[in-house]
Chain A
Amino acid sequence: MGVVHGQEMVLNIGPQHPATHGVLRLQVKTDGEIISEITPYMGYLHRCFEKHCENVTYEQVIPFTDRCDYLASMTMNFGYVVAMEQLMEIKVNDRVEYIRVIMAELQRIASHLLGIGAFGLDLGAFTPFLHMLRDRERILDIFEMTCGARLLYNYMWVGGLSHDLPTGFVEATLNFLDYFEPKVDEFENLLGHNKIFVERTADIGTMPAEVAISYGVTGPNLRGSGVKWDLRKDDPYSIYDRFDFNVPVGKGMKGTVGDCWDRFYVRIQEIRESVKIVRQAIDQLPKDGDVHQAMPKKIRPPKGSIYRRTESPRGDLGYYIESDGSDTPYRLKMRSPAFTALSVLNEIGAGWLMSDVLGILGSLDIVLGEIDR
């Protein structure tokens, strides 16, 4: 921390703190309320994901990818599975692709709901958090219906899915979407346009576009700064090119481009886009097609390496898989979007007040499981 001036106080926003979204220690130099320097300390939730992956076979890696970003584990599976299928040149049939897109987009809605809710909670608004959890509960019911689990699914396998959709899935999802659509506008009015919320988030923690790109920030945080970069459109994978949805970008409606409010509003619009995608995917869902059809009996990818990125709710989720021909990965590196989002905290957070720094941390929407792996 270097030398501490007379009136400055070193404060540990410690591993056990209500606003750190997990186990993260922010060592902070404050002078009264104004925070001059933030040094994040991580590693409290390090479970040696990459070392584990070197000792388990390719099918057994999937439950581990679930546990990295436990709020969006469907998209974590999706990223790993897309990377593996590109490495092994497997082509899955359309039904599997559509089910995967439906599941990934529902998971994006659920993860954004919790991200926005926790952001509101950091600023003191309790009720929106619980309203959003109530709607997230409905999405978890839909996941539970298909793969039995509510948080860590192990549903998408290399070459297909573990289970086909149960009867009544399409009606349940359509009921949910019809019920959910008006609720998003309610969130926007209850939280988004509330003057105190705007006062607490507009013009705070602004992240200019070059800083975001140079710090490798991706996802809603980058789009909040005005850069139109969404992997589903710019580096398309799976069948995202069959759906028309637009990529919301921060326009600085309530302050400058790239402030906390923009990141919040980009996430709200992304929820609406995901709802549109799920609707289109459901009515184009092919009835026939076996979900186990393209699954190899024994997964032995050819020797070689691949780096594949997919769009997780927090940004570019990259898998670097190096295989040496055997059935266990030689090296598996997961590029975590929240890891780079946290690295920008000191750059955009220094100089603000204590309550703002926690607001900025909330607006970056980080998950410590993914950062510490």
Chain B
Amino acid sequence: MNEDKEKIISEAVEKALQGEMDAINNIEDRVTRSKAKAALVKAKRAKAVNDEDSIKEDDTSESKVEEKINFNQTVCQKISEKFPESIDAEQNDDWIQVKPENWLKIAKWLKSDEKLYFDSLQCNTGIDLGEGVLESRYNLHSMKHLHKVEIRIKISAEKPDIPSVEQVWRVADWFERETYDMFGINFIGHRDLRRILLPDDWEGWPLRKDYEEQETYHGIVVPKVKEGWE
């Protein structure tokens, strides 16, 4: 019975390699579809590996750095054409500064666009840059094309609102809850935004630079008390 399953998978993968993904999506049986997807990923990786061999003649380290820069620029140009004035600060090679307004639309597009296909959000870091400026940084990565990019969004500490990308990458659900828990950045549209590591009724945002811990929490003295030491 599973010979013809192998056959369906292999020709679905061929069709998907030419780029139209729905060849795989319309396999109705869930198991074969996930097997086809895995086979596709393997095929893609095999194709990607022999592409790299072809360009391996010139020394990789130097080309890798410069290839990373222009890759960043290409992504940045793509975003600015698609969403006109969403690029925030000046352009540089390591990350892309984006305005918070239409970040959700950019995220959806980054994930669905064929050539970029950022399907996994690796890490979301909150950071307090001092003088009331908070920043949320997203490291995105594509399992298919094996390239990665870092996107940063600056917001003011008084009105820390960023659209939540929880629907786009499900991992963002907990990442954003942790950033909210530590920095107080509230992510608009997050279905279940509450503290994840600290108790729900803890005051203050611990990782902000201007944070002082509260004296007592439910009657328990918070700062460390040690007798016989000073």
**A–B in direct contact per CB < 8 Å:** yes
If A43-B199, A322-B127 touch, whether A216 touches B37 (CB-CB below 8 Å) is no
CB atoms of B206 and A48 under 8 A apart = yes
Q: Does A79 contact B (CB under 8 A)?
A: no
User: Within the assembled complex, what's the spacing in Å between the Cα atoms of A214 and B167?
Assistant: 10
For the complex, count residues of B whose C-beta is within 8 A of A: 38
User: Within the assembled complex, what's the spacing in Å between the Cα atoms of A210 and B37?
Assistant: 9
Q: Could you tell me the distance in whole angstroms from the C-beta of A205 to the nearest C-beta in chain B?
A: 14
Q: What residues of chain A lie closer than 8 Å to B207, measured between beta carbons?
A: 50-51, 54, 331
Q: What residues of chain B lie closer than 8 Å to A213, measured between beta carbons?
A: 119-120, 143
CB atoms of B122 and A307 under 8 A apart = yes
Contact pick for A343, options B35, B122, B174, CB 8 Å: B174
Q: What residues of chain B lie closer than 8 Å to A252, measured between beta carbons?
A: 31
Q: What residues of chain B lie closer than 8 Å to A235, measured between beta carbons?
A: 146
Best-buried of B38, B139, B173, B206 by chain A (most CB within 10 Å): B38
CB atoms of B45 and A228 under 8 A apart = yes
Contact pick for A316, options B122, B125, B169, CB 8 Å: B122
Q: Which residue of A lies closest to B195 (CB)?
A: A43
Q: Does B137 contact A (CB under 8 A)?
A: yes
Instruction: Say which one of A16-24, A282-290, A292-300, A332-340 lies at the interface with B.
Output: A332-340
CB atoms of A307 and B30 under 8 A apart = no
Q: Does A151 contact B (CB under 8 A)?
A: no
If A229-B143, A318-B122 touch, whether A331 touches B127 (CB-CB below 8 Å) is yes
Q: What residues of chain B lie closer than 8 Å to A48, measured between beta carbons?
A: 206
If A42-B197, A216-B122 touch, whether A320 touches B206 (CB-CB below 8 Å) is no
Interface size class of A (residues with CB under 8 A): 35 or more
CB atoms of A257 and B35 under 8 A apart = yes
If A226-B35, A335-B122, A340-B174 touch, whether A214 touches B197 (CB-CB below 8 Å) is no
CB atoms of A209 and B38 under 8 A apart = yes
Q: What residues of chain A lie closer than 8 Å to B116, measured between beta carbons?
A: none
Q: Does B161 contact A (CB under 8 A)?
A: no
Proximity bits, A192-211, B CB within 8 Å = 1, else 0: 00000000000000001111
CB atoms of B122 and A214 under 8 A apart = no
Q: Does B106 contact A (CB under 8 A)?
A: no
Best-buried of B119, B123, B143 by chain A (most CB within 10 Å): B123
Q: Could you tell me the distance in whole angstroms from the C-beta of B64 to the nearest C-beta in chain A?
A: 12
CB atoms of B38 and A257 under 8 A apart = yes
Q: What residues of chain A lie closer than 8 Å to B122, measured between beta carbons?
A: 216, 307, 309, 316, 318, 335
Q: Does A243 contact B (CB under 8 A)?
A: no
Q: Does A134 contact B (CB under 8 A)?
A: no
Q: Does B102 contact A (CB under 8 A)?
A: no
Q: Does B12 contact A (CB under 8 A)?
A: no
User: Within the assembled complex, what's the spacing in Å between the Cα atoms of A43 and B206?
Assistant: 14
Q: What residues of chain A lie closer than 8 Å to B41, measured between beta carbons?
A: 209, 227-228
Q: Does A97 contact B (CB under 8 A)?
A: no
- Top-3 shortest CB links A-B: A216-B171, A226-B38, A335-B123
Q: Which residues does B use to contact A, with CB under 8 Å?
A: 30-31, 34-35, 37-38, 41-42, 45, 94, 119-123, 125-128, 137, 139, 143, 146, 150, 169-171, 173-175, 182, 195-199, 206-207
